[in-house]
Structure 1
Amino acid sequence: MKTKIMLTCALAALTTISCNDLDVDIKSQYTEYPIDSDIALEARVSNAYYAFRAPLNRRYDELLSLSSDEYSAVCFNGGWLDGRQYSNCSTHSWEASANNNQLNVYSDILAGITNCNQLLEDLGETNPETSNPVRAARAFYTFLLMDNFGDTPIVDYKLTQGSKTINRSPRADVARWIESELLDVRDKCPSEVNESTYGTPTCWMVDALLAKLYINWNVYTQDVTSSSWNPNASNEKLDDCIAACDRIIQSGLFNLNDDYKEKFMYNNGPQIKDFIYAVPYEATLNQGMCYARYRTWRYGGANGFYTTVLTPSCGGNFAMNPEFADLFCLPGDRRNDVVVGDPSKETTPVYEYDPVTGEVTNTPHMYEGKQVVFTKHITLIREDGDLDVGADGTRQGYRSIKFYPDPNDYNVYERNQDNDIPIFRYADIILTKCEAITRGGAATLGDTPKSLFNQIRTYVSPNRDGSLDIDHDPSLQEILDERGREFLDEHWRRNDLIRFGDYERAWGFKYINPDNAQLTRRIFPLSQDVLNSNTNWTQNAGY
């Protein structure tokens, strides 16, 4: 278990009140906390900064990871079917009611915006050191809603004060508002990178968000659901994207020196120089992170997949799609070590993993007297939206151990893990600049698409010897594939697939839903709960 200084026990005792109803005075939803006490102010700032922790630790992960080409959400003779709420994500069959659990992340993120607005209104102009990072957090939450759900309300208390109802704004307007907010606060946010600023908005977090906004500018400011939308159209913000990347690169505060696998382990934290902005978790106070529960083999806990037996059961319903597993094919690539399974083979014998280092051992993983063998491909017992592999299908699909758990904490704290989840990484900045130049942006700092791409390849190659480097400028397809390898389980794959025009490609069992390739699927529907709470809103097109 790791110790974090960001939150005290006093903060953990305060309850964040969630709100998804915009038809009432926003301020009336909250118990008033004073801001003249350092502890009270810290607690309210914490509520603003870490509002994404709750959705990210499970439901946002399900919605984003299962809707990409990374995983199929299988069930086992009906086990883990749960009304198809998981398999619907994999077949792009999201439903406003059936997927309330996943789609209600909208409400959680919106509550974060409300936390920010309440604090900003109470602070007024008296504490810019606090208010500017809070505005950055509010812009980030608004970005998440816009990216996933399209048209989004611009909930700025200065704009909405006194309003009885708040309408959703066009996606393009929201993108421009986010840009203006970020540009306004960028130079007013902290530039220090240390333990005290870890997990909080800094000017570098703002730059990383700007880069993400700009590289997706054509997605947000044009009608991405139209058949005339072109993923390769000219992007007016490419040079702005590169400039945001360059500010981070030239800061000298971030690098790729961390070992790929080690930086996602349960003891990660502010010492990781690749992390620009991360959401911190800790198995006791800052709970909820439980990715191993769903990605581990279903019976892996019962007999020591992690050498140490996991006493709470594992779900094991995230089976990696073979098309995605095939990306982990580069000889000696360190990223291969976070996938349990050899994509060059149809079957892979499984060995135990060291509970301390997370590295594979020479000890066969045994179950019922036989070594466990995973199959790359997944076979359903019937062709329907249940995605049922049967009771004996638990070994189908390769698995991810990228966010490797501390088995002791997993057992003692009911599956809770200590792994922090990165949102923005330096590696993403390098590949984003590579992509922006490839798409037509002006090269800077002597960088080329090849040199940037090879920074990634070198740091994941055996002994960093450069043996995986390429000898040419990468194509857009090569960049997309590299992003798949680099950012597995980090919730950017759907975003990437849409931007590259690849979201309608066939993978997994999407074909079971005849409407899976409708362009409106590039935006999630609103949950029934959100629609019931905001009766002036209408459902997104296509649902």
Structure 2
Amino acid sequence: MNMKVKYIKSFMTVALLVLAASCTDLDVDIKSQYTEFPDSETAAEAKAANAYFAMRGPLGRDYNHAQTLSSDETMSYSFNGSDYYDNGRYNHMALHNWTPDDATIGYWENFTQGITTCNGLIAEMGGDEAAVTAPIRAVRAYYLWVLMDSYGDVPLLNRILAEDEAIDRSPRAEIAQFIESELLAVIDLLSTNVDISTYGKPTRWMADALLAKLYLNWAVYTCGDVATYTPTMANSKLNDVVKFCDDIIASGKFDLTDSYMSKFNSENGSHIKDFIYAMPFDRETQQGMTYARFWTHRNGNKEFYGVDLPSSVGGCFAVNSEFADKFNLAGDDRNEQIIGGPLYIRSASTYKATTTPWMVDGKQVTLTKNITLNKLDETMPVDNTAHGGRSQGYRSIKFYMDLKTTASQSRNQSNDVPIFRFADVLLMKAEAILRGATATNGDSPMSLMNQIRDYVHAPKVTSNPTLDELLDERAREFADENWRRNDLIRFGKFENDWGYKHIINPSAKTELYRRIFPVPKYILNTNTNWSQNKGY
């Protein structure tokens, strides 16, 4: 297969980004700005800012939608078959009939541009051999992981390309091996500090967590054809999962002391002890995060949150009933992230429900767990009435609406989005041991899961969980955090029945190639010698 690409556009993008980042002081000598090696950590940090936050755009919307809508967490519907159908960008994900044209899976270029930015900065700052480039190499490895996890075979962009140079897509297994080698090469050079100065930036602990995640999915990434993967395949890296989880645990820098819901509201940030690596968002200066727009009841911009919102909301996402049923543990704080049944006006200060019913048109709004479509087709239509279609399906309030947003900020939220959490480290270690890794430090799957159960006030388990029970625990803990698609594929359950997927699109049961997304059409239009992923 002859798969070639010319990344002229991306190369010019990084050149412009570096130029823009460097041209804030017109009195600085040109040579010193562009050719001299940064002589301080502060200078290096300033140059690295463009690289660190390249994921902000897709993480705030399309990447999140691709992961959650394609999983059993979430379904979408349109109002009367047209409003919020948006050419199927949401429903196609929920029905597993997405195409290379769908905007939701079009985030490929965001990451190749981010990688190209990294490559330009690495070259400018002294190359791979320079210790100061270690965090940029780490974030480049993360961007490659996102591409590889999403699309399978991707180009190994580990250097600046010549203007007319072409590059092949590399097999997914080779990309996984490169990510591994890069992280192992830089891990001892990365900062071990955990404070506001390293928040949102690659640290040793971020590299540990990414290596653990890479190794936990090693059998998925190296099996050759993703459609042939089964969860019974041997994984030679399970002990490495434990090793890198243990490094994080032994650091003593992370814990589960923050209450569950407080970790995801608009006041979260560097003080959250559970966050190993997170993407900072700000409704004014670091925009792009709009999760609550899609989850809030269509009438919810009025009174529901205790204040009126300055902009309309979408209200087109709902929790699949099968997923809602997993939130069934007595006393579990995580149950609060899903709302259903009769709704009450919420306090604008505590974010909790009050005792005042939320009334629309003289009637209390009641969310039904089950969703009845007006027609069984890919538009997934419901009627556009407050107490009809708009009230079908339970909703997530985990990433709670930012109540300080203004009309000019257009629904943007200041909720930072965690990428790696300490809770995930504990459950990754538990899973690795369940799958055959050697237990360490007296930990067992039961003791590790009970650390989670303890902080959320859920009943403790009395024996080691099964793999299915651990998967359900991950559902409760990491809902809407962009891990469910990854988990379902690893556990061999991505093709299971849920929502309307198997009813409207029965082929979803057998189209195993959908474990990776197609290369977006706009990428293939530019790179005509590439072949589309198998099945698409």
TM-score, scaled relative to structure 2: 0.92
Partner SS, residue 227 of structure 2: coil
Separation in 2, partners of 1:96, 1:233: 30
One-letter amino acid matched to 1:112: G
Distance in 2 (alpha carbons) for counterparts of 1:490 and 1:205: 16
Q: Tell me the residue number matched to 1:432.
A: 428
Map of 2:273 onto structure 1:
273
Structure 1 residue 390, shift from structure 2 partner: 1.8
Aligned partner of 2:415 among 411, 415, 419: 419
Q: RMSD of aligned C-alpha atoms? A: 1.9
Is residue 86 of structure 1 aligned with residue 90 of structure 2? Answer: yes
Partner of 1:519: 512
1:21–1:530: 8 Å Cα contact kept in structure 2?
no
Structure-to-structure mapping, 1:107-256, within 5 angstroms: 107-125=109-127, 128-157=130-159, 164-223=165-224, 225-227=226-228, 229-256=229-256
Measure the CA separation in 2 of the matches of 1:105 and 1:143: 13
2:6 paired with 1:22: yes
Q: Give the corresponding residue for 2:75.
A: 72
Output one character per residue of 1:244-291: Cα deviation in whole Å (capped at 9) or x when no partner.
Answer: 000000000000111000011110000000000000001111011111
What is the identity, as a one-letter code, of the residue corresponding to 2:405? D
Letter in 1 for 2:142: F
Shift of 1:296: 0.8
Residue number among 462, 465, 471 corresponding to 1:474 in the alignment: 465
Deviation string, structure 1 residues 50-81 (Cα, Å, up to 9, x no partner)? 00001111111111111111111111112101
Give distance in 2, aligned partners of 1:75 and 1:473. Answer: 42
Query: Percent same amino acid at aligned positions?
Result: 47
The 5 Å alignment of 1:376-415 reads: 376-392=369-385, 393-411=389-407, 413-415=409-411
Distance 1:351 1:25 in 2: 51
- 1:499-520 deviations in whole A, cap 9, x for unaligned? 0000000011112123212110
What is the alpha-carbon distance in structure 2 between the residues aligned to residue 103 and residue 125 of structure 1? 32
CA distance in 1 between partners of 2:150 and 2:95 (Å): 17
User: Letter of the aligned partner of 2:449 in structure 1?
Assistant: F
| Alpha-carbon distance in 1 for matches of 2:246, 2:356 | 46
Answer with 372-381 or 216-225: which moved more: 216-225
Partners of 1:286 and 1:433 in 2: CA distance: 33
How far apart, in 2, do the equivalents of 1:210 and 1:495 lie? 15
| Alpha-carbon distance change, 185 to 126 in structure 1, aligned in 2, over 3 angstroms | closer
Q: 2:501 and 2:255 mapped to 1: Cα distance?
A: 38
Q: Distance in 2 between matches of 1:151 and 1:199?
A: 27
State how far apart, in whole Å, the 2-side matches of 1:458 and 1:26 are.
47
Give secondary structure in 2 for the equivalent of 1:409. Answer: coil
Tell me if the contact between 1:87 and 1:387 (Cα under 8 Å) persists in the aligned partners. Answer: yes
Q: Is residue 24–residue 165 contact of structure 1 (8 Å, CA) maintained in 2?
A: no
Runs of 4+ with deviation above 6 angstroms: 37-40
Distance 2:9 2:261 in 1: 47
Q: TM-score, normalised by structure 1?
A: 0.90
Q: Measure the CA separation in 2 of the matches of 1:520 and 1:22.
A: 27
Note if 1:542 corresponds to 2:535. Answer: yes
- Determine helix, strand or coil for the equivalent of 1:226: helix
1:25–1:162 contact (8 Å) kept in structure 2: no
- Partners of 2:478 and 2:157 lie apart in 1 by 30
CA distance in 2, matches of 1:115, 1:196: 21
Q: How far did 1:540 drift? A: 0.6
Q: Which runs of 5 or more structure 2 residues have no equivalent in the other structure?
A: 23-32
CA contact (8 A) 1:256 1:426 kept: yes
Structure 1 residue aligned with 2:61, among 54, 58, 80?
Answer: 58
Offset at residue 438 of structure 1 (A): 0.3
Structure 2: how far apart are the matches of 1:468 and 1:64? 29
Judged with a 3 Å threshold, the aligned counterparts in structure 2 of structure 1 residues 127 and 49 are, in CA distance, closer, same or farther, namely farther
| Kept in 2: contact 1:25–1:164 (CA 8 A) | no
Contact kept? 2:128, 2:134, Cα under 8 Å = no
Query: SS at 2:508's partner residue?
Result: coil
Q: Distance in 2 between matches of 1:164 and 1:477?
A: 48
Matched with 1:455 is 451
Instruction: Give the partner amino acid of 1:436.
Output: A
Q: Provide the rounded CA distance (Å) in 2 between the counterparts of 1:246 and 1:22.
A: 42
Counterpart CA distance in 1 for 2:63 and 2:11 is: 26
Deviations 1:405-441 (A, max 9, x none): 2212255522111100000000000000000000000
Deviations along 1:314-339, one digit per CA (max 9) or x if unpaired, are 00111110011111111110001111
Partner of 2:486: 495
Q: Deviations over 1:494-541 (max 9, x none)?
A: 000000000000011112123212110101011111111222211111
Contact 2:231 2:492 in 1 (8 A): yes
